[in-house]
Amino acid sequence: MSSSPYIHGTSEREQRRLVEQADLLRNLLAGNLALHPGEHLLEIGCGVGAVLGQIARAHPEARLSGIDISANQIAAAHLHLEGLGLGGPELRMGDGAQLPWPAGHFDPIRMVWVVEHLADPLAVLREARRVLRPGGSIHLTETDYASLRVSPPDRAIGLLGGLRGPLQPPRRCPRRPAPGAAAGAGRLHDGGQPDRGAPPLVSRPAG
C-alpha cells in the first residue's frame, strides 16, 4: 500500500474542515481550472468530495471521478455531494497506487493535499500517468510549509513551529521580473504571491 496512517483521521470535525477549506479556496481549486468538452477529470485522494463539489459547481457539464483509500471518506463524499444536489461524480474506494481504470482513461488528474500523506508517492504518480491520456496533465496542490509566514505574528501558529524547531523564513526562488515591472516593487516568493516585506514569523520551542 502506498499510504502511511492518515494523520488527520476521518472524524466529522475533520471532514467538515475539508469542506470549509475547499470552500475558502474554491478559486484556486476550481475557479481557475480549464476543462474542455469531453474531458474527464479524476481526483486521487478525493476525501469527502469537497474539491469535486467545487469543480462540479464551477463546471456543471464536466465528467468527474474520485477515488479515496478510506471507506469513511467515500461514504461522506456520497452524502456531501448528494446534499449539494451533485449526484454526477463517480466515487470509488481504493488505493491510488492501484487505480481501477484502464490506461489513458482520464484528463486531467488532480491530487490536492494528498502527496504529503503517501509513503510511496511515486507508486501513485506512476499509476496516475498510466491512466492519463497521452499529452494529458496532472495537477498537484500541496503546501510548502517552509514558506509559512504570518503577519502580524500569531502565537497559536507560532507554537506549531515549536513542534519542529523555529519556522524558517521562506526560501526565495529566483524569478524573472515581469516585463515592465519596477525594480523592487514587490518580490515574489514560493507561493507566487507578491512579498510586501512582512517580517517572517520566528518562534522558539516552548521551555
Q: Least distance to ligand SAM from the beta carbon of 60, Å?
A: 20
Report CA 3 to chain centroid distance, whole Å.
Answer: 16
Q: How far apart are CA 16 and CA 79, in angstroms?
A: 12
CB of 52 to ligand SAM, least distance (A): 8
Secondary structure of 29-88 as H, E, C letters? HHHCCCCCCCCEEEEECCCCCHHHHHHHHHCCCCEEEEEECCHHHHHHHHHHHHHCCCCC
- Provide the grid cell at 73: 471518506
Is residue 3 part of the contact set for ligand SAM (CB under 6 A)?
yes
Binding residues for ligand SAM restricted to 30-59, rule: CB under 6 A:
44-47, 50-51
How far from the centroid of its chain's Cα atoms is residue 94's Cα? 18
Binding flag, residue 127, ligand SAM (CB under 6 A): no
Choice from 33, 81, 112, 128 touching ligand SAM (CB under 6 A): 112
Q: Is 95 in the site for ligand SAM (CB under 6 A)?
A: yes
- The verdict on 73 binding ligand SAM (CB under 6 A) reads yes
15 forms part of the interface with ligand SAM (CB under 6 A) = no
Among 39, 58, 70, 191, interactor with ligand SAM by CB under 6 A: 70
Closest by CA position to 77, among listed 60, 99, 62, 94: 94
Cβ proximity to ligand SAM, 126 vs 204, nearer residue: 126
- Cα 81 from Cα 132, distance rounded (Å): 25
Which residues are at the interface with ligand SAM (CB under 6 A)?
A: 2-3, 6, 8, 18, 22, 44-47, 50-51, 67-70, 73, 95-97, 112-114, 117-118, 124
